[in-house]
A and B are shown apart, each in its own frame.
Chain A
Amino acid sequence: MSTIRYRFIAPAPMLAQRRPAAPPARGELVACHECDLLQRLQPFSGDSVQRCARCRALLLRYRVDGAQRSLAWALTGVMLFLITNAFPIVTLELQGIRNNSTLAGTVLSLWHEGLPIVAGVVAITTICVPGIMLAAMLYLLLPLNRGVLPAGSIGLLRALAAMRPWGMVEVFLLGVLVALVKLTHFASVIPGTALWSLGALVIALAAMSASFHADEVWRRIGIQPLKP
């Protein structure tokens, strides 16, 4: 794995321009991504949350130990993800006949019923996106916590941002609970190991995303010189 040492640019240059970098006197110029208001960030050294003056959209959230926290949650998340995928979510018992289903089993049964599109949507939102996001976060955060920026960070950060809305583990958890209540009317249902780990995974993924500040990694990347 080839790595490049990151350059600290703190605070980041006011504008993306190739000119001698004079430290900005009154903080970095930013535009709100929801109302486009141009404003300056307050200079900060420690934890900071800054919002748009006009629409209160989040401009910046920074925690000094954000990278450590998100790494801890990502490691927890990976373990929970593996458990969730390895064990059955629910076992159904009806007149002595038992049937259980794993997460992958749910996708496969939809596939065999001739609904590949629905099977694909379920697989992407509950297995692929959370799994890839966790792997990408580990790849990014393990070197980052040692002060090294891994190769391919730019593409990875962009992919992470694009993937995030499509991970729907929390909706799936609610779906499992609704299905459980529906089934209790005519059969006995036994919650499986994966149901508990799924609940924990929802928390781990939410905490990982909340403590990860892509903005901070972008600052470390700095501005790559443009090719002429």
Chain B
Amino acid sequence: MTAAHYRLANCHSCGLLSRLEGDGAHCPRCGAHLHLRKPASIARTWAYLIAAMILYIPANALPIMITGSILGEQRDTILSGVVFLWSSGSWPLALLVFFASIMVPMLKMIALTLLLISVQCRSRWQPLQRLKLYRLVEFVGRWSMLDIYVVAILAALVQIQSLATVTAGPGAVAFAAVVVLTMLSAMSFDPRLIWDPLNDATPEPATPEPATPEPREPRASPDALPR
């Protein structure tokens, strides 16, 4: 049995379980707004995700780093930076940057799309695996910021006018926005939505049971669940 079944809301801020009485209820402990699920979770997640997808194009097409030297000016996109690392022999580094800057944002957007579609179809397929996918998306997202930091440090350090200068390019703005937007998207997704179709499938009591702190029906009792 889920908390929502008894109209009990888990405070998103302090974790206190309390009864939801009407709209605009507040947590009695911390004062945060109470709701059974994150409000407009699907719409918000889509909005951030689509914005990230759109910005992903300039993030990859525009130069992220501009290197000026005696030999001329070199404009590097994320991909050409990886190719340069690979051809200069530091392939472990090339793999690391390729993974963090290209694979992770792309896989993250694909994963969030799949999660959103599966939730909207009220899919009952492999909820635990989908939850694990969500946890992975949340955990790994921040590491995409890697390339921004690399460019930032290089731009601060390589400022030797006569020999070489590095400046951050407009691609860096778009890429930073992609990372922030995908993080916001993952945060607005409510993983409990994955489980909701399964919960609704269990037969409900004929009369909606008033939310009692001590449910007495043995079938509905949380104690009947495996620990």
Contact = CB atoms under 8 A, between A and B. Distances in A.
Interface of A: 12, 14-18, 26, 29-31, 33-40, 42, 53-55, 89-90, 92, 94-95, 97, 99-101, 105-110, 113, 115, 117-118, 121-122, 125-126, 154, 157-158, 161, 165, 168, 171-172, 174-176, 178-179, 181-183, 185-187, 214-215, 218, 221-226
A97 B163 CA distance: 10
Contacts of B13: 157-158, 161
A183 B65 CA distance: 14
B10 A158 contact: no
B152 A110 contact: yes
B159 A36 contact: no
A40 B17 CA distance: 11
Contacts of B43: none
Contact of B19 (A17, A100, A171): A17
Contacts of B2: 31, 35-38
Nearest to B29: A223
Contacts of B1: 37-38
A37 B31 CA distance: 23
Contacts of A121: 145, 148, 176, 180
A174 B146 contact: yes
Contacts, number: 219
Contacts of A115: 168, 172-173
Contacts of B213: 14-15, 17, 29
Interface in B1-48: 1-6, 8, 10, 12-19, 26-32
B136 interface: no
A125 B1 CA distance: 40
Contact of A122 (B152, B162, B226): B152
A200 to B, nearest CB: 18
A38 B8 contact: yes
Nearest to A104: B156
B215 to A, nearest CB: 9
B160 A99 contact: yes
Contacts of A94: 160, 163-164
A178 B17 contact: no
B158 A16 contact: no
A199 B154 CA distance: 19
Contact of A31 (B8, B90, B152, B154): B8
A16 B6 CA distance: 14
Contacts of B153: 89-90, 101, 106, 175-176, 179
| Max count, chain B CB within 10 A of own CB: residue among A182, A218, A224, A225 | A182
Nearest to B226: A53
Given A38-B1, A105-B156, A179 B150 contact: yes
B199 interface: yes
Chain B interface residue number, banded: 35 or more
13 contacts: A38-B2, A39-B225, A53-B225, A89-B153, A99-B159, A106-B153, A109-B156, A113-B155, A174-B143, A181-B93, A183-B158, A185-B90, A223-B28
Contact of B191 (A12, A35, A126): A35
A168 B154 contact: no
A211 B93 CA distance: 33
Nearest to A90: B157
Contact of B18 (A17, A39, A99, A158): A17
Contacts of B131: 34-35, 55
Contacts of A17: 18-19, 213
Contact of A185 (B31, B88, B226): B88
Q: Which 4 A-B pairs have the closest CB atoms?
A: A175-B149, A31-B3, A16-B18, A101-B156
B29 A171 contact: no
Contact of B222 (A40, A99, A178, A223): A40
Contact of B183 (A37, A118, A165): A165
A34 B193 CA distance: 9
B167 interface: yes
Contacts of A95: 163
Interface string B160-199: 1011100110001100110010010001000110111001
Contact of B159 (A107, A109, A178, A186): A109
